[in-house]
Every structure is written in C-alpha cells, then in structure tokens.
Amino acid sequence: MHLGRGLLFFLLLNSVTMSFSLSTCTTVDIDHIKKKRVEAIRGQILSKLRLTSPPQTLGHSQVPYQVLALYNSTRELLEELGRDRHQSCGQDNTETEYY
C-alpha cells in the first residue's frame, strides 16, 4: 500500500519537474514593451529630423502673424478646392464631356 502511494508520489513529482523544465517562456512586461516602442519611435523621428536629441523648449512662443495668415489662407483654399471637387463629382458627366 505504501509502495503504491510512494510510486504515485514519485511519478507526480517527476511530471511536475518535467513540466517546469519544459516551460522556457519568460513573462512579458507589457509596460516595458510599450516604453521600448515609444523610445524606438522617438529615435526614428529624431533621426528623420537629423537630430541627436530632442530640442530644448523655453516655453510657449507666439506664432508670427505672417505664418498664421499663410496657414489660414492655405486652409481656406484647400477647403474651397474640396467643396468644388465635391460639387463637380455630383454633376452628371456625359461621355462627350469625358472626351
């Protein structure tokens, strides 16, 4: 009786140690992977800009009026072109207009 229990215990212990030795996967730290991904993307952006480190900011600066006016006029022009394109798509184009 004791021999059967001993053999069963030995087989159970052996299977547990075998399962631990087969487990070679390490745990994954998702936060660590996210930080590494952000660092890699930051490095790619810096290399694209040909910078070795991020530029130092001194605080919020005002955008010059000329730059802001150019941005607004470009945005308005793009919106107008988009409206024109959208309106022209709605019109019936015949084959004669195509050729």
Tell me the residue range of the domain where 81 lies. 64-89
Output 66 or 57, whichever has higher pLDDT: 66
Within a domain: 21: no
Q: How many whole angstroms separate alpha carbon 1 and alpha carbon 14?
A: 20
Within a domain: 95: no
Within a domain: 56: no
Q: How many whole angstroms separate alpha carbon 10 and alpha carbon 18?
A: 12
Within a domain: 48: no
Kindly report the average pLDDT of the chain as a whole number. Answer: 81
pLDDT tens sequence across 8-50:
777 777 776 666 655 666 778 889 999 999 999 999 999 999 9
pLDDT at 4 over 80: no
State the total domains in the chain.
Answer: 1
Within a domain: 6: no
pLDDT at 70 over 70: yes
pLDDT at 62 over 80: yes
Within a domain: 12: no
